[in-house]
Amino acid sequence: MHFIKAYLSCLWLLVLCVAVSQSFTDECLETAWPPNPTRSITTYVVDLDEPAHQRWASIAAMYKVQIKDLVDYIKVFVLKISPKLQFLIDLVDTKLPEMADTFPSPYGDEIKGISEASGINLGEVVLYNVFYEIFTLCTSIVAQDENGKMYHGRNLDFGLLLGWDFANDTWALSEKLRPLILQVNFTQNGQVLYKTTTFAGYVGIITGIKPNHFSITMNERYGIQGGYIGLIEWIFNINRQQSFVTFAMRDMLATADTFASAVEYLSKTPLLAPCYYILAGPEAGQGVIITRSRKNADNITLLGKDNSWFLIQTNYDHWKKPPFYDDRVTPATNCMNKYGAQNVTFPSLFNVFSSRPVLNKLTVYTALMELSTGHLESYWQYCEDPCFPW
């Protein structure tokens, strides 16, 4: 019965998407900027000179209720699908704690420290930290203005098929994520090494910038060899000669010194899941989409191809036609062309990211990065009705 309800919910949402998709094809807002200051995201500091298990202690203690609420929701949602899936919940408590010891340094120790500081079961904190490997939807844009100045932005969409709240017309998990959004400046020797927009207690990176060097966002790539395969291989020690996609991003931000070295690292590192890495650098023309399989890069597209001044990546191979039920590329492209290279700014990009269906019910935040200054600012997002479910 639970499976039938889930199927009918998905079918209803698909019908709704088809019905309303054409309504937003040409939407291109001009008044979304400036966002209300109450939507600004608080910035914290993680000091890399501190022992790994202590770095997140204050943040974990501050956000322990919100983290626990999200993890509990995931466990309840699984059991609502079928009580027979109790074995998965048991796995969180019995198998996942061991997984922390298998993570490369410093991630395992940081996760253990988060568990200690928050009082949340170690297996649950591990679950919280691996969940984003396989469920992240996004829209990322790299753009160059007419003077060669580089910008990078993204919408982070999360929560697809993880519980639709019919009473409020929202994705339940997306609503629980918003209170966890924060910016983190990672410091070393008293200096900011890199900046990120992330979630409290999450040690990987989905959005980040290394000032004067490069910026990076990651989007999920769908495929039969999805992240769940790599996750199973890792848990059962079948293959650990691969990197978690968000750990690879953090490793790159910590060690790469140039845009070119960042691109090379993320093109060649074996990964747990397929994904899209989108990077920008401070110099004109430094923009790229790296389409990754788990073993290597299937495609590398540079800014400037076919005289392009911007790149857009959602969750489908960008050289193919997007599916009719989830076309965020066409509206975003139309909106970017409407603004033109002469108007590439934080205000124009935020307007693009706030235009439906680029903005949808799954969108939890918009992040904007300016490469010449290393500036990052982020705002939580919410799509008012009528709004595309995804």
Which residues are identified as catalytic?
Answer: 138
Residue with token string 């439906």: 356
Could you give the CA distance from residue 289 to residue 280 in angstroms, rounded to a whole number? 9
Amino acid letter, 298: D
Q: What is the CB neighbour count within 10 angstroms for residue 327?
A: 18
- C-alpha 38/C-alpha 209 separation (Å) is 23
3-state secondary structure of 109: helix
List strand residue ranges (DSSP E) for the chain, in order: 43-47, 136-144, 150-158, 164-165, 170-171, 181-188, 191-199, 207-210, 214-220, 275-280, 287-292, 297-302, 310-313, 363-370, 375-380
**CB of 75 within 8 A of CB of 93?**
no
C-alpha pair distances (Å), 15 with each of 12, 21, 133, 138: 5, 10, 28, 21
Identify the three-state secondary structure at position 264: helix
CA dist., res. 352 & res. 143, Å (int): 12
Q: Which structure tokens are listed for 381?
A: 């997002």
Cross-strand bridge partners of residue 153: 141, 368
Taking the C-alpha atoms of residue 119 and residue 116, their distance in angstroms, rounded to an integer, is 5
DSSP 37-61: GGGB--EEEEETTS-GGGTTHHHHH
Helix axes 64-81, 107-118, angle to 10 degrees: 100
8 Å CB contact between 316 and 299 = no
Q: Would you list the DSSP string of 113-181?
A: HHHHHHT--HHHHHHHHHGGGTSEEEEEEEEE-TT--EEEEEEEEE-TTS-EETTTTEEHHHHHHGGGE
